[in-house]
């Protein structure tokens, strides 16, 4: 019984020392935010890019090939990455602005 208590204390110490709980919360929040960002990109940003570039569907780029190379997949992935990065950047700016306002209020 004493060994089990020692392992339990060691495990709790490990969780505390390496801040595992906040990390786990961050991972869970990251998954949730990923769904929101993906919805914004797929539902708003990508159609806007399609309108601006006169493409009916940005995913149609994935069929673009140069010889044996699927260059369209790369272009589509780059566009998606830039769109996701823009949405995350915008969210971060809003959150940092709120944090700065809270710091001023103190």
Range of the domain at 96: 2-105
How many folded domains does the chain comprise? 1
pLDDT of residue 25: 86
Q: How confident is the model at residue 55 (pLDDT cuts 50, 70, 90)?
A: low
Q: How deeply is 41 buried, as exposed, middle or buried, from its count of CB atoms within 10 A (0-12, 13-18, 19+)?
A: buried
CATH code of residue 86: 1.10.1200
Q: 27-38: per-residue pLDDT in tens?
A: 888 888 888 888
Evaluate if residue 56 carries a pLDDT over 60.
Answer: no
- 59 has pLDDT over 80: no
Mean pLDDT score of the chain: 79
- Predicted pLDDT at 57: 62
- The pTM assigned to this predicted structure is 0.55
Cα→Cα distances 86→15, 91, 96, Å: 34, 9, 15
Q: Which whole-number Å values give the CA distances from 33 to 27, 37, 39, 81, 92, in the listed order?
A: 10, 6, 10, 15, 12
Residue 18 has pLDDT above 80, yes or no: yes
């Amino acid at each position: 019984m004493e060994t089990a208590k020692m392992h339990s204390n060691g495990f709790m110490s490990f969780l505390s020392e390496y801040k595992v709980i906040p990390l786990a919360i961050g991972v869970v929040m990251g998954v949730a935010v990923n769904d929101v960002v993906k919805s914004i990109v797929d539902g708003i940003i990508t159609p806007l890019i399609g309108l601006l570039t006169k493409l009916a569907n940005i995913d149609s780029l994935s069929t673009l090939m140069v010889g044996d190379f699927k260059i369209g997949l790369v272009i589509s992935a780059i566009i998606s990455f830039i769109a996701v990065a823009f949405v995350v950047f915008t969210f971060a700016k809003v959150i940092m602005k709120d944090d700065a306002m809270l710091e001023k209020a103190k």
